Chains A and B, each alone.
Chain A
Amino acid sequence: MTTLSTAVIAPARRRRRGRHRLEGLLIAPALLLFGGFFVLPLAVVLLTSLLTGNPMGGRAVGFTLRHYERLVGDDYYLEVLVTTLRLGLWTTVAALLIGYPLAHQLARLRTPLWRTLLLMAVLSPMLIGIVVRTYAWMTLLSNQGIVNNMLQALGLTDKPVGLMYNEFGTVVALVHIYVPFMVLTLTGVIGRIDPRLEEAARSLGASKLRGFLEVTLPLSLPGIVAGCLLVFALAISAYVTPILMGGFEIITLPILIYQQISGTSFNLGFAGALAMVLLVVSLLLVALYSRVMAGMAGGRAWR
């Protein structure tokens, strides 16, 4: 017995120790890549946001908080922040209202064919570029666009209605872009709820609506929270859609960030300070999201 166990276990142990070294080798490229081109650059952003100038520029630079003071001191920047958050909030609410019915249907469909078709319909917009989808909404919502053409043809209005170059158009296009993320998050959660729970409520005399409101909806709450956090995080960092749909009228945080390094103004420090604001908000949202997802999946959030 002993010889057998030493013969089997000892090489296995040796193999395991060898594996450890191998795994270090396997993860090294990713670690180097992320260290040098993800963590380091983000640290550089933090650093430049706290410096008076370019540290490699040759001139003496010191630490300063002036970029953050400028941010806090000017009402204009506060307004930009509020606009960004407001657009994110409306987008999230609308994406939830549109995404929930779709996710529920998707989770409860029995026929594989219908399931696949619906899933493809929901996913395919996700695989089309943001610029393309924003252009599509421009053709629909502009003053000479299809919707205005139809409204005028039907005699509902004699002047084009301002559907674009404002927050409404921006939110519509943003919702279209981020609904798939909401649906994917919700479908996973709703799919795990046993439909017999709702049936049990109904057999006890609850109406269909009440069964849904008091059983399925509360059970899907973690999915709702996770989906909303995800969509909100994505929406506040959008760049293309607010610029094109807002017609340069709407300034959001990402637009403001890019303005700092393009055109006439070149202010890396201030761009860094703005980026840190977006980073902190995003990280908070991500932390909340992973906490909610971890609670649902039993600690396997990183899948």
Chain B
Amino acid sequence: MTTRRRRTPWDVVAWRALNGCLVGFLLLPILVVLLFSINPAPFIQFPPHGVSLRWFAKFFGSRDFMAAFGLSAELACLTVVGSIVIGTLAALALVRGRLPGAGFLAALFLSPLMLPAILTGLALFQLYVLLDVGRPFWGLLVGHVVIAIPYVIRTTVAVLTNFDRSLEEAARNLGASELVTFREVTLPLIRPGVIAGGIFAFVISFDQFPLSLFLVNPGQETLPITMFNYLKYDFDPTIAAASTVSIALSIAVVLLLERTIGLQDYVKL
């Protein structure tokens, strides 16, 4: 009995090895980018010779990249605020309400998840052409908020569904007003879902490409678009450094997500 338990059967080992390889496939490109960003040579070189931070210096010293970085960060932060406010309110109404057509509304608010962002981008572009408003910053922001809202709604709805309504009833019975109940009971309880949605919204906005492609002003582009344009003509590791900065930001976000609500819950969504 004990020997059987100790020795893992060969097929289980093979299965794990296969999955190890697949994880390698998923992580390899990221490791390669990290490696190139600290490689001093201006071309792809493997194995790397030496360590250098010159590409980071070039990235942080580049006015174009920094302007794009700033624009993306500003856009992402405003997107978080906009999508959290609008998305949380909508999620509350969808779960709590016996609104007529709630199922249809939910499908509508979640549809940017499945609809290609390039279509949303083209559609907003055509609307702005039609209205003759040019390519305003608010136009870009509105697009980002529309794309980010489904994530906020999904995470908030997930929390609201497992919500114990009797807590609110108790507060109400103890004489709290609707507003006080919301502030003191509902909001703290749904906070993890809202925060998770906000983090998703940040990442979605910060990495957004196809939507921004249609809506940015030439010369005032977001970071992914600036990187894309750079890649079309130049191949030096400045992009690797820029990527490393983005990756560091994303890893920070994943850790934050894990700390706030635990990634485990996301598999069930």
Contact = CB atoms under 8 A, between A and B. Distances in A.
Given A98-B22, A131-B209, A42 B33 contact: no
B119 A278 contact: yes
A48 B109 contact: no
Contacts of B192: none
B170 interface: no
Given A139-B32, A289-B114, A37 B250 contact: no
Interface centre among B27, B111, B132, B224 (most CB of A within 10 A): B111
B268 A188 contact: yes
16 contacts: A120-B258, A123-B254, A123-B266, A124-B30, A128-B250, A129-B246, A133-B29, A135-B243, A146-B44, A176-B26, A237-B116, A258-B213, A272-B122, A275-B122, A278-B119, A286-B114
Contact of A239 (B27, B115, B213, B232): B213
B124 A34 contact: no
Contacts of A139: 32-33, 36, 44, 240
Interface in B169-222: 178, 203, 206-207, 209-210, 213-214
Interface in A210-243: 230, 233-234, 236-237, 239-240
B36 A30 contact: no
Contacts of B214: 258, 261
B109 A127 contact: no
B135 to A, nearest CB: 12
Contact of B15 (A40, A101, A128, A236): A101
A40 B127 contact: yes
B99 A54 contact: no
A124 B254 contact: yes
Contacts of A33: 86, 142, 145-146, 149
A209 to B, nearest CB: 9
Interface string B82-95: 00011101101110
Interface of A: 19-20, 22-24, 26-27, 29-31, 33-34, 37-42, 44-45, 48, 54-56, 98, 101-102, 105-106, 112, 115-116, 118-125, 127-140, 142, 144-146, 149-150, 176, 179-180, 184, 187-188, 191, 208, 230, 233-234, 236-237, 239-240, 244, 254, 257-258, 261, 268, 271-272, 275, 278-279, 282-283, 285-286, 289-290, 302-303
B253 interface: yes
A132 B127 CA distance: 30
Considering the complex of A and B, which 7 residue pairs feature the smallest CB-CB distances, nearest first?
A237-B116, A136-B29, A41-B123, A23-B97, A129-B207, A30-B90, A26-B93
B247 A132 contact: yes
B231 A138 contact: yes
Q: Is the interface of B mostly helix, strand, loop or mixed?
A: helix
Contacts of B123: 38, 41-42, 44-45, 275
A25 B213 CA distance: 34
Contact of A55 (B15, B130, B158): B130
A132 B227 contact: yes
A191 to B, nearest CB: 7
A171 B216 CA distance: 28
B89 A244 contact: no
A290 B250 contact: no
Given A101-B19, A125-B30, A275-B122, A302 B103 contact: yes
Given A131-B224, A146-B44, A188-B268, A23 B107 contact: no
A261 B142 contact: no
A268 B29 contact: no
Contacts of A118: 19, 23
A221 B110 CA distance: 24
Contacts of B1: none
B97 A124 contact: no
Given A27-B93, A237-B116, A282-B115, A34 B44 contact: no
